[in-house]
Amino acid sequence: MAGVAGACSISAPSAARILPEEVVVWEILVRLPARELLRCRAACQSWRRLTSAADFLLAHHQHQPSLPLVSFSAKDRDEQGYFDKVVDAFDHRLVPAERRRPVLGFRDRRDGRVVLHASCHGLILLSVSTRRFQISNPATGQWASLPALVGAHVAGMYPSGEEYRILYWKQRFKGDSPVYHVLTVGSSEEPRCIGLPIASAPLNQLFLEGMNPSSSHPPVLLHSCLHSLQGRKRSSMVVFDTVGESFRPMRSPFFDDDWDPYLHEIDGTLRISCLNSVVLKIWVLLDYDKEVWSLRYHVKVPRVGRLYGSFDSSSSYTVVSEKGDMLLFLFNRMFHCDS
């Protein structure tokens, strides 16, 4: 047995040398889960250097599953203080004890309420009391302040080549028409003003009122466009072309006043989920160009969601799978409900 073990330990390095470094890095390491990749980074300086490059980190992120972020307030373990906000990623495919993956935690409450505005390729945009906007990469521990966003209403964040941009609007004085801007993260240039979009009557009124914030109903990036449900009842869909920086309307299903619609992207397809106190409905966009939607699923809401007959203003939900698994935030608790 010792001879066999010795033979294996001797042959392993020679076998590793057969594979070109490019294949090891761009075909194997780039597909590993984050935890296993961190272990491999400790194997040699070459792997650590190559896997620290920006192009590798972006490629690795694109190979990972897109997980929803959940945020809430919670006590810390020693009960000596509080996290004002805890941000976790949620993976419904794992066993219950491993589904929540810690991302960020904030212990200091004196600065005020922390708001999660957007996330893109592992970057997280957040603010404290609307006065301090910051962008964070939790994987590397890097932070950057974004003073240009003070007083802004963020509509979305998206990639543009190797850059990341933020769409937002501001009002100089209360009652003024909103002015829309695009900020390039990390650039020394001033944010680019794109003014007030010119649109048809329904959309024009929407832009005059100001687009809904991405913190409450995040937009979906697909085909280099940001898609978002807008309006007071989120009855209109607006598409922002991130290349041409133009807006257009898109057809969406009709929702009654008691529904709470959210937009999702699963497996490269747009989906809209609607929830009331009885049932969850999910529409799927069958044809993107012709804007054809199909009602695909009816999911009965679990009893915990019907205790008082309807949801209160603090309740919310997000769909985390194609078939309708969802996270339900109700009565200061989070429930995972399968379909």
Convert the pLDDT of each residue in 15-36 to its tens digit.
Answer: 455 788 888 889 999 988 777 8
* Size of the chain in residues: 339
Cβ-based neighbour number of residue 326 at 10 Å: 25
Listing DSSP states for 99-160 in one string gives SEEEEEEE---TT--EEEEEEETTEEEEEETTTEEEEEETTTTEEEE-GGGTT-EEEEEEEE
Assess contact for 179 and 172: CB atoms under 8 A: yes
Which contiguous run of DSSP H or E holds residue 265? strand 260-266
What contacts 250, CB < 8 A, 6 or more positions away?
A: 227, 237, 238, 239, 291
Name the DSSP letter for residue 25: I
- 210: closest CA among 192, 228, 183, 224? 228
Cβ-based neighbour number of residue 93 at 10 Å: 11
Amino acid at 63: H
| Domain residue limits, the chain | 17-61, 260-339
Alpha-helix residue ranges (DSSP H) falling in 191-251: 201-209
The pLDDT value given to residue 250? 93
Q: Is the pLDDT of residue 111 over 90?
A: no
- SS3 of 63-79: HCCCCCEEEEEEECCCC
Amino acid at 25: V
110 confidence band (pLDDT: 50, 70, 90): low
Amino acid at 174: K
The pLDDT value given to residue 67? 79
Phi, psi values for residue 51, rounded to 5°: -85, 0
1 confidence band (pLDDT: 50, 70, 90): very low
Q: What pLDDT, in 10s, does the model give residues 54-100?
A: 788 878 877 777 778 877 766 555 555 555 677 888 887 788 888 88
Cα gap 262→239, rounded to integer Å: 15
99-113, 123-137, 219-233, 282-296: lowest mean pLDDT where?
Answer: 99-113
